[in-house]
Amino acid sequence: MRMQAAIMFQHGLPRPYASSTPLIIEDVELEGPGPGEVLIEIAAAGLCHSDLSAIEGIRPRPLPVVIGHEGAGIVRECGEGVTDLKPDDHVVTVFVSSCGGCRFCVRGRPNICPSGSAARAAGTLISGGKRIRRLNGEAVNHGSGLSLFAQYAVVARRSMVKVDSTIPLDDLAIFGCAVMTGAGAVLNTAGMQAGDTIAVLGLGGVGMNALFAAVAGGAERIIAIDTSVEKLGLARQWGATDTFLATDADCVERIRTATDGGVDTVIETAGNIQAMELAYAITARGGSVVSAGLPAQGANFSYMHAGLVSDEKSILGSYMGSCVPERDIPRFIGLYKRGKLPVERLKSGTLPLADINSAFDRLADGSVLRQLLRPNI
Ligand SMILES: [Zn+2]
Ligand SMILES: [Zn+2]
């Protein structure tokens, strides 16, 4: 079928993106779903910092590529062997395609299934196939096995979870990355308990979901840290008990003093080494840093090893919030329905495909939380 997609042909074009147009809207051909695959109409796709990292080239992808890894859609056609979905079902996409049978999947850790990483590196769906072609016949790579910055997508059945069709699809889209990554980091990776003290460093879409989850999970004290005064103000309105500006020279000292020697659990969502250093510095003896933000490929974080040992600190990675999507997306939607994960507060407007480059300018400015592409409106 013919559709429009936003294709990236090169990394690292200069800002403003509204002029350099790293994403070019083209008519393309989308092949129908193969065995185990599903054609979905994209209802909404969120613009995430990881997409910006791909545009900047600090997390390169095979080119040309259609990126976009957070979304919700409507099933239009099921490939051979897909019997548990039907047209008009609503789904949230999952940016790690898991195989279901490897040693990680069977231990309940599909988020680190290596079959997904191989497909991601090769720019294919988990089947190994590519379904998008330019009108000149050139194959286009898939981003995260999804390619959601388009009107439609063909995606592996295992890269989506069926959801309640009464919930607005633009709210649901946010569950595909920001909610799983942020809420999952707090409730799964960190295993936060009611009464804990927790810090969230970096208040974008992921960080705000970590904050919501900390409130929902009954944290006694929630310390929010960011470089933006506006975002700290929002965090206070939404349940943070203490806020600190990361750019203050004495930020570490002030947090350590306010928390009697440091925070037990620090969720780092900013995805850069300075943020990681700050997170480690404000972690209490016996405490943990949970890092959920992806920095530039090849960036290295260092720490004083003796202190790690004598202070018994832990450093944990959290990929997609350590989520089992079939378990956690319905769980988090349940919290949303009770007003405990108010993702609708994070929406900073919707946009058509034609506005996607200027929307990435706004994301790079740090002035928005979640902008949602609505490619069929
Ligand atoms: Zn993301
Ligand atoms: Zn697996």
pLDDT in tens, 265-279: 999 999 999 999 999
User: What are the beta bridge partners of residue 316?
Assistant: 290
Q: Give the H or E element holding residue 253.
A: helix 251-258
- Determine the distance separating the centroid of ligand 2 and the alpha carbon of 79, expressed in angstroms: 21
φ, ψ for residue 297, nearest 5 deg: -55, 130
CB atoms within 10 A of CB 195: 10
pLDDT confidence tier of residue 82, bands split at 50, 70 and 90: very high
pLDDT confidence tier of residue 367, bands split at 50, 70 and 90: confident
pLDDT confidence tier of residue 115, bands split at 50, 70 and 90: confident
- Determine the distance separating the centroid of ligand 1 and the alpha carbon of 311, expressed in angstroms: 33
Q: What is the 3-state secondary structure (H, E, C) of 29-56?
A: EECCCCCCEEEEEEEEEECCHHHHHHHH
- Determine the distance separating the centroid of ligand 1 and the alpha carbon of 180, expressed in angstroms: 9
- Determine the distance separating the centroid of ligand 2 and the alpha carbon of 330, expressed in angstroms: 21
pLDDT on residue 98? 87
Listed in order, strand segments (DSSP E) in the chain are 2-8, 23-30, 37-46, 65-66, 71-78, 90-93, 132-134, 139-142, 152-156, 160-163, 197-201, 221-226, 242-245, 263-268, 283-291, 314-317, 347-351, 370-373
- Determine the distance separating the centroid of ligand 2 and the alpha carbon of 258, expressed in angstroms: 43
Which ligand is in closest contact with the Cα of 112?
2
Which ligand is in closest contact with the Cα of 173?
1
Instruction: Please report, rounded to a whole number, the percentage of residues in the chain having pLDDT higher than 70.
Output: 100
- For tokens 């709210």, the residue is 171
The boundaries of every CATH 3.90.180.10 domain in the chain are 2-178+323-373
Q: Which two tokens stand for residue 183?
A: 């809420």
- Determine the distance separating the centroid of ligand 1 and the alpha carbon of 51, expressed in angstroms: 7
Q: Helix count (H) and strand count (E) of the chain?
A: 13, 18
Which ligand is in closest contact with the Cα of 148?
1
- Determine the distance separating the centroid of ligand 1 and the alpha carbon of 306, expressed in angstroms: 34
pLDDT on residue 314? 98
Tell me the pLDDT tens digit for each residue of 26-68. 999 999 999 999 999 999 999 999 999 999 998 888 999 999 9
- Determine the distance separating the centroid of ligand 2 and the alpha carbon of 331, expressed in angstroms: 22
- Determine the distance separating the centroid of ligand 2 and the alpha carbon of 112, expressed in angstroms: 8
Is the pLDDT confidence value at 116 over 80? no
pLDDT confidence tier of residue 237, bands split at 50, 70 and 90: very high
What b/e string do you get for 218-255 counting C-beta neighbours within 10 Å, with b at 16 or more? ebebbbbbbbbeebbebbeebebebbbebeeeebbeeb
CATH superfamily of 2-178+323-373: Medium-chain alcohol dehydrogenases, catalytic domain (3.90.180.10)
Task: Assign domain 191-317 one CATH number from 3.30.2320.30, 3.40.50.1970, 3.40.50.720, 1.10.8.640.
Answer: 3.40.50.720
Which ligand is in closest contact with the Cα of 117?
2
- Determine the distance separating the centroid of ligand 1 and the alpha carbon of 49, expressed in angstroms: 6
Q: Which two tokens stand for residue 2?
A: 């013919």
Which ligand is in closest contact with the Cα of 93?
1
pLDDT on residue 59? 84
Which ligand is in closest contact with the Cα of 99?
2
- Determine the distance separating the centroid of ligand 2 and the alpha carbon of 278, expressed in angstroms: 34
Q: What is the 3-state secondary structure (H, E, C) of 122-180?
A: HCCCCCCCCCEEECCCCEEEECCCCCCCECEEEEEHHHEEEECCCCCHHHHHHHHCHHH
pLDDT confidence tier of residue 127, bands split at 50, 70 and 90: confident
Q: How far apart are CA 122 and CA 276, in angstroms?
A: 29
- Determine the distance separating the centroid of ligand 2 and the alpha carbon of 97, expressed in angstroms: 8
Burial of 128 (0-12, 13-18, 19+ CB in 10 A): exposed
Tell me the pLDDT tens digit for each residue of 155-205. 999 999 999 999 999 999 999 999 999 999 999 999 999 999 999 999 999
The boundaries of every CATH 3.40.50.720 domain in the chain are 191-317
Is the pLDDT confidence value at 246 over 90? yes
pLDDT on residue 119? 85
